[in-house]
Structure 1
Amino acid sequence: MNAVLVAVTLMLALSVARLHVMLSMIVAAFVGGWIAGMDVDATLKAFNAGIGGGAGIALSYALLGGFAVAISLSGLPHLLAKKILSLIGSGQTPSNKSTFLLRNALLLGLMLIAVSSQNIIPIHIAFIPILVPPLLLVMTRLDLDRRLVACVLTFGLVTPYMFLPIGFGNIYLNEILLSNVGSAGLDTETVSVVSAMAIPALGMLIGLLIAALFSYRKPRHYKLETDQAVVDQTDQEFSAKSLWVAGAAIVIAFVVQLYLGSMVLGAMAGFLLFSATGVIHWSESDGVLVDGMKMMASIGFIMIAASGFSEVIKATGHIDSLVNGASGWLGDNKALAALLLLIVGLVLTMGIGSSFSTIPIIAAIYVPLCMQLGFSPLAIVALVGTAGALGDAGSPASDSTLGPTAGLNADGQHNHMSDTVIPTFIHFNLPLLAAGWVAAMVL
């Protein structure tokens, strides 16, 4: 019995059964360790070692949360919500034509912001709990299915790092994917990573179109529970200075992260501009940072637990047996090999919750095997890159699903598993699995 398969399956089952994701991962980690023959002390030691790695991620989210709160205080998100509400008309039922236009404009805007959060505005998922709650009233008035919004946000969070070598994409494609594939023995000098990942990225786009045009195109009704605090903030007038400073802070944050390669330093530079210009007073900066930490605390703790779970999975030693067991079915069948390797990547990323952490685990095993089977360098990069990205959209422990839930469930009407994890798994992991297989076969 493979400890990795059991641990991941148990974690998913407990999460679907409404046990908190963090507790699900802790329980599954110890069960996986037990199946692998590890005693409690060994499992606990591995889990604690993983927690140390997750603490850095949690700190990054806390700082990015502070920058996002500062942007919120500038008035930009609420100015957007106010503008959309004015287009709908207070207390009026929008016409079918205006509903269609506003609905699609809102979805397109959220997708562009999500894409930008990976490269232009270096705040990753931290924008969601700030921007989305003020827009819930708008979404409710438009009868917009929040499962579609979750798919739009997840698409914007995942696809850019898979395809665009900027920001998170530079880290995933160049620093992690090409670096680990090269270390495993493949010459990547002539490989265009963008060309390799174009077909998988197209698979993500197809999944989004299916969700928008078929699965969630019909209206879905939610309770109109108006949050007076949100309404008050939407009606509040903000100074032109704060709006201009917010725009300048976003530009500075982008420039810093582009040249220094640190999204945390970029967010810090943007936050310091808010303080230096007086938009955020020095006496208030501590409170703003604390608010940002609170906003991202739940996600941070889940990511910490995910790092511990990941370390236990590695310590079991069953990852190699999982891959080797799959390779035993391969023979010289390239089509079957590509499919099985992608499925193994899906299982691992669903458990670990991070594409960035999966690549170093699988590259050393996948690359020699694929070279032996005769895959081209471009196909190998596409296969490994897709295998790593698979599962990110549908994992309960992924920030690509935790982020959308944090914003869409602000009024308690959006479930993490049934409204975010399962829809994104169906609409992104399955098309990505097919697209990755096609890329491995045709490149």
Structure 2
Amino acid sequence: MLNAVVVSVLVIVVLSLLRINVIFALIAAAITAGLMGGLSLKEAVSTMIEGMSGQMETALSYVLLGMFAVMIARSNITSILLKKLISILKGKRGVLLVTIAFVASLSQNVVPVHIAFIPILIPPLLSLFNQMKIDRRAVASALTFGLQAPYIMIPAGFGLIYHGIVAKEMGKNGMPIDVSMFPKVMLIPGLGMIFGLFIALFISYRKERTYVEKENTLVLSTKNEHATTAFTGKHALTLTAILGALGVQLWMESLVLGTLTGILLMFIFRIVCWNEGDEVVQRGVVMMGFIAFVMLLASGYASVLQETGAVKGLVAASGAWLGSNKMLAAAIMLLIGLLITMGIGSSFGTVPIIATIYVPLCAELGFSSLATAALIGTAGALGDAGSPASDSTLGPTSGLNADGQHDHIWDTCVPTFLHYNIPLFIFGFIAAMVL
């Protein structure tokens, strides 16, 4: 229990639950892990700072995305969307929430923009949520489901990348597996997330919750707030800019270049004037800068864990006393994956860390290649929902807290942790036992 991973993750969780900002929690966790791993205070901080560069591109992407979202809001196109949704979905709570989960799922596979749609779509809908008295914890659960479940189950977009990472790491460690087998492997854990989604939407957060109509940092930043909701040439140009950003992103495989393209087109089309650039930058940074900086710190924290060898030590120590008990081994491996991903906030980054020791351990215990894949795939995904440092929770919070009425820890992290990690653990364990 005195392993640096365990203690530092507990530091993150406890401080976050005490409403200490996640930035301070991550810094404290990185220093704790460094000191426990034999680093001096100066070395721990230096390692954290150096490791922050690992997420620099992602952080820049999110800040630029915030600016692009503000520009889109200025075009008033979101008002048209809001008017249509109010007329179609007002009073249809369940349909609205399932639709949000579906749209979020599309962002992982069909149109792989990840959390890019959230600051564009969600803030304009807050007024509708308020009118319908929807508990925003249900919306956060729907969004997080769409950001995580598709890459677990569907072999396209981010799902294909995730499946490929697991297959590659298993092959590197002596247990080759065809990536085409992963939809079958991850179906059982994925069903656990579907189960958790319906519990969250239709049982846990079914009751009405009242919110006050407050200033929305995105929607009310536009000078076109009272403009007509008729579709105009300006809106067509805005759609062109959005499609241009998406096209460049898919073509160049770079969210930074795609978002820059969209921003440039919005200026060229005069949707936003050049002299309004300062305000756009300021509001964009306010919206997405926090997420960007948390992702940087999470990368620095992960770098400290790697520098100290704490993860390998944790896995090796666990394997030393598991013996031949497959059920206990599966549970411990899933728990370790949960701890690591809760800390660093990245399923994709967890898999290479754990696969090195999980593969030979599973082979020694007699797990099949499919069962091993299920264990590694589920262990990596565990903790993505519920992690204070994961973009799967930071993204929903950025949209739902645009009016300052949604708490990151208690309204996003805790609900998604309970509704997704518990069923993922159970269904992942079942998959390891039956495959």
Indicate the RMSD between aligned Cα atoms, in angstroms. 2.5
Whether 1:420 and 2:412 are equivalent positions in the alignment is: yes
Answer with 128-137 or 224-233: which moved more. 224-233
Q: Which residue does 1:406 correspond to in 2? A: 398
Answer with 382-391 or 422-431: which moved more. 382-391
Residues 336-415 of structure 1 aligned to structure 2 (within 5 Å): 336-415=328-407
Whether 1:68 and 2:69 are equivalent positions in the alignment is: yes
Question: TM-score of the superposition, structure 2-length normalised?
Answer: 0.90
- 1:46-86 CA distances to partner (integer Å, 9 max, x unpaired)? 11221121222211212333333343334332222223445
Q: Which residue does 2:253 correspond to in 1? A: 261
1:180–1:363 CA contact under 8 A, matched in 2: yes
Segments of 5+ residues of structure 2 without an aligned counterpart are none
1:167–1:258 CA contact under 8 A, matched in 2: no
* Aligned mate of 2:227, from 208, 224, 236: 236
Residues 13-162 of structure 1 aligned to structure 2 (within 5 Å): 13-85=14-86, 99=91, 101=92, 103-162=93-152
* Aligned mate of 1:434, from 377, 401, 426: 426
CA distance in 1, matches of 2:111, 2:384: 21
Q: Which residue does 1:296 correspond to in 2? A: 288
The Cα shift of 1:9 comes to: 0.2
CA distance in 2, matches of 1:39, 1:360: 27
CA distance in 1, matches of 2:239, 2:209: 35
Q: 1:73 to 1:199 in 2, by over 3 A?
A: farther
CA distance in 2, matches of 1:47, 1:352: 12
Q: 1:250 to 1:370 in 2, by over 3 A?
A: farther
The Cα shift of 1:311 comes to: 1.2
CA distance in 2, matches of 1:232, 1:219: 32
Q: Which amino acid aligns with 2:10?
A: T
The Cα shift of 1:24 comes to: 0.9
CA distance in 2, matches of 1:225, 1:58: 28
Aligned-residue sequence identity (percent) comes to 47
Q: Which amino acid aligns with 1:116?
A: L
* Number of equivalences: 431
Question: TM-score of the superposition, structure 1-length normalised?
Answer: 0.89
CA distance in 1, matches of 2:227, 2:170: 52
The Cα shift of 1:394 comes to: 0.7
SS in 2 for 1:144: coil
The Cα shift of 1:108 comes to: 2.7
CA distance in 2, matches of 1:215, 1:149: 12
SS in 1 for 2:410: helix
2:48–2:300 CA contact under 8 A, matched in 1: yes
CA distance in 1, matches of 2:222, 2:285: 24
The Cα shift of 1:382 comes to: 1.8
Q: 1:311 to 1:190 in 2, by over 3 A?
A: closer
Q: 1:273 to 1:394 in 2, by over 3 A?
A: same
Q: Which amino acid aligns with 1:397?
A: A
CA distance in 2, matches of 1:248, 1:165: 29
CA distance in 1, matches of 2:17, 2:385: 15
The Cα shift of 1:343 comes to: 0.5
Q: 1:114 to 1:325 in 2, by over 3 A?
A: same
- 1:160-215 CA distances to partner (integer Å, 9 max, x unpaired)? 222233332233222x2222222222212365222222222111111001111211
The Cα shift of 1:386 comes to: 1.0
* Aligned mate of 1:199, from 171, 184, 188: 188
Q: Which residue does 2:205 correspond to in 1? A: 216
CA distance in 2, matches of 1:7, 1:263: 32
1:167–1:257 CA contact under 8 A, matched in 2: no
CA distance in 1, matches of 2:316, 2:419: 29
- 1:365-409 CA distances to partner (integer Å, 9 max, x unpaired)? 111111222222222222111111110111111111111112222
CA distance in 2, matches of 1:42, 1:344: 26
SS in 1 for 2:108: coil
Q: Which amino acid aligns with 1:164?
A: I
The Cα shift of 1:255 comes to: 4.2
CA distance in 2, matches of 1:164, 1:432: 16
CA distance in 1, matches of 2:433, 2:360: 17
Q: 1:166 to 1:235 in 2, by over 3 A?
A: farther
Segments of 5+ residues of structure 1 without an aligned counterpart are 89-97
Q: Which amino acid aligns with 1:73?
A: R
Q: 1:184 to 1:76 in 2, by over 3 A?
A: farther
2:144–2:393 CA contact under 8 A, matched in 1: yes
1:355–1:388 CA contact under 8 A, matched in 2: yes
1:79–1:234 CA contact under 8 A, matched in 2: no
CA distance in 2, matches of 1:113, 1:233: 26
CA distance in 2, matches of 1:364, 1:441: 21
1:211–1:427 CA contact under 8 A, matched in 2: yes
Q: 1:48 to 1:20 in 2, by over 3 A?
A: same
2:5–2:311 CA contact under 8 A, matched in 1: yes
CA distance in 1, matches of 2:408, 2:194: 22
Answer with 44-53 or 1-10: which moved more. 44-53
